[in-house]
Structure 1
Amino acid sequence: MTDILSLTDDIIHGWADDPRGPVALSLKQRLLPVEGEGAVFFPPTYADTRDGYAIDELSDGTIVVTVDSVGAQANRMEPLFKRAKADQPENPLAALVPQIDVAYGNEKTTSLLEAGHRLGDALIRSTDLQEQAQAAFRHYLDTGDADAIAKLAPTSLVFGAWDSRDTQAKLPRIVQSVIRAHDVDVLHRSAQYNPALDYTALGVFDETDKAKAERDAKSPLAQRGFVHVPSVNAPGGVIARGGIWRSVTINLVALRQLGGTNGKALRRYVLGLSLVAATEPQDGFLRQGCLLTPDAEAPADWQLVARTGKRQALALDADRALAYARDAAAAFGVGPDRRATFSPTKAKADVKAKG
């Protein structure tokens, strides 16, 4: 039996502090549809792809399909740190990061934790936080000091960000996650829409119009639901013969490259957030027809990967990650919560400035 490394704070500190330390933490986790082994589930669909899905065929003929991309996984993990709604229990993860809310429209708000490009998002450039974000990015570019970014939007350090429309600062992903299904069979489905009434008999249109519309799903009558509309050979989900696997990597090399006036505390803080993001259970509802849970018969397999390639099993779970993250956040000092307001004037100016 492989020995499992029990974690202490000193061991975890070393991942952030030791320049000769391990290169990564790696998780391999088997998932199952809630309906059970062999059940049909639905990957995301894309235009102009094989059978509608992101499918790759390996050299041996095995079919692999992407169930949730790296970007999609990051966008699911980041809101785990968002403050809970008023009618929900308190979220213990919310205290680990600044809560930045942007007001817009008629008393509506959105969280920076839901912005796809994070601190480099157009949302931030359209508020009075634009100057602070730009200054933080420029300071990072000029000095390598990421403290200001961590005080403003630390999850931009965890999940990566690219200020591609302004300073060009790039922050590499420290946490990367993807879900793929292996050895899949692709299914198709057909359906028939039947209108509630015979609208021809009621004089809404005549038989000629009806016949034309039923042969053209893009016709106005078909689009508005007044005639029979068949849907044939549409994507019907997949069955995974080789399992559904979530793979997570925490890049400790990229972590240790972060500098700052309080560099050691910064790196430990970002490491704590990364551990929480990687271990916190997800709700598994990826899209309609795709509700996944961990396989209880195949526990998550965390491995510590040394620069020599040697691997060591780890006893890492969400409770241990959160305990470390709380201490690291207290030592670094979480930035203040902020509330900004979306400015159409700033948004228009940003568009004009970039042509």
Structure 2
Amino acid sequence: MSIELTTELLDQWATDPNGPVALHLKQKLLPVEGEGGVIFPPTYADIGYNIDTLSDGTKVATIDSVGSQANRMEPMFKLPDYAGLVPQIEIEYGESRKVSIFEVGHRLGDALIRSTDLKDEAQKAFKAFLDSGNAQAIAKLAPTSLVFGAWDSRDTQAKIPRLVQSVIRAWGVDKLTRSAVYAPPIDYSALDVFSEEDKAKAENDPKNPLSKRGFVNALNNSAPGGIISHSIERDIMINLVALRRLQAGNTEETKKLRRYLFGLSLVAATAPLDGFLRQGCLLTPDPKTSVRWQFINRDGSREDFSLTHELAKSYATTQAEPAAFGVGESKAVKFDKKLAKEDVKKKA
């Protein structure tokens, strides 16, 4: 039997040091082709698909890593329905081009931030976190750096653990291969663009310029052809221990900070999945399985609870109001080439 969530209970989970250690969702996904459909995992340099074999022989493939999931989830806070929950920071560069901080890979610790007027403010906020765990300045400047984690590895070395962690894996996988051939529309050697001898050499060498540029037949044998999986699962976890370690100016401000970040975490974790991960990998939730949230107590016991996106958004909206934590100021800053050059020299 699921417990009923209330605002009071969510407040307690965010602030009570004896409360649950985490919230967890295991969600079964399906390819749009249905059970047993072929999907394409990401490919990595030197290894291709990231497929591990467990001691019992089960093969597990990474479909979307923790970092990749975070990068997919974070830009939702640019959308009109969620933009009011967080400060909007845009970096202007080039000729009238802009990029949101939600699209910056290292978030507040990125080189792009150090190349703007936000450099000193970000450094000061990271140092406050390093010195005392005070995350208030970061939350006012870039709260998603707390929700999805950040590492200021090129400057203060402040390392902020993720509050929300999501990963997609496929279990019991079989790897497939595929072959393909390209045939040019005309015979260029017959038109004296190159000789028959050059053509014969190029067709057996994918590194040959004629092959690379598409002037001869090109063969591609035994390339990765996707996988078939017995089960695809998405695991989402909200780390309440990490949340309750964050501090602010005083006890009351600390409570407001934690509730605000908890609200953002709930919104991110319950938002509908954008299942188009890459070409050949479009996933949807399995309609035959229920969404099962659990909270995990310190003794390891688990209890089910019902959590909807509407409830999460309502709670987050309340915590973002000025009477609660409030949302930091939105800013538009410009990329400064001089600061970027100085940063390169400093690192060198």
- What is the TM-score of this pair, normalised by structure 2? 0.97
| Offset of residue 48 of structure 1 | 1.8
Amino acid at match of 1:290: C
Q: C-alpha separation between the residues in 1 aligned to 2:203 and 2:32?
A: 38
Q: C-alpha separation between the residues in 1 aligned to 2:113 and 2:98?
A: 13
Q: Which residue of 2 aligns with 1:26?
A: 24
Q: C-alpha separation between the residues in 2 aligned to 1:209 and 1:343?
A: 50
Q: Which residue of 1 aligns with 2:239?
A: 251
| Offset of residue 343 of structure 1 | 1.2
| Offset of residue 307 of structure 1 | 0.5
Matched, 1:204 2:200: no
Q: Is there any run of 5+ residues in structure 1 with no aligned partner, and where? A: 84-90
| Offset of residue 22 of structure 1 | 0.5
Q: Which residue of 2 aligns with 1:47?
A: 45
> Superposed, which structure 2 residues align to 1:1-355 within 5 Å?
3-49=1-47, 52-83=48-79, 91-241=80-230, 243-261=231-249, 262-330=253-321, 331-355=324-348
Secondary structure at 2:225 match in 1: strand
Amino acid at match of 2:110: D
| Offset of residue 80 of structure 1 | 0.9
Q: Deviations over 1:166-221 (max 9, x none)?
A: 01111111111100000011000000011121111111111011111111101111
Amino acid at match of 2:112: L
Q: C-alpha separation between the residues in 2 aligned to 1:322 and 1:80?
A: 13
Q: C-alpha separation between the residues in 2 aligned to 1:300 and 1:72?
A: 22
RMSD (Å), alpha carbons: 0.8
Amino acid at match of 2:344: V
Secondary structure at 2:127 match in 1: helix
| Offset of residue 282 of structure 1 | 2.0
Amino acid at match of 1:15: W
Amino acid at match of 1:328: Q
| Offset of residue 47 of structure 1 | 2.0
Q: C-alpha separation between the residues in 2 aligned to 1:78 and 1:162?
A: 16
| Offset of residue 141 of structure 1 | 1.4
Secondary structure at 2:43 match in 1: coil
Q: Deviations over 1:129-150 (max 9, x none)?
A: 1111001111111222111000
Matched pairs, number:
343
Q: C-alpha separation between the residues in 2 aligned to 1:145 and 1:78?
A: 23
| Offset of residue 94 of structure 1 | 1.1
Q: C-alpha separation between the residues in 1 aligned to 2:38 and 2:68?
A: 21
Q: Is there any run of 5+ residues in structure 2 with no aligned partner, and where? A: none
- What is the TM-score of this pair, normalised by structure 1? 0.95
Q: C-alpha separation between the residues in 2 aligned to 1:340 and 1:299?
A: 44
Q: C-alpha separation between the residues in 2 aligned to 1:333 and 1:275?
A: 17
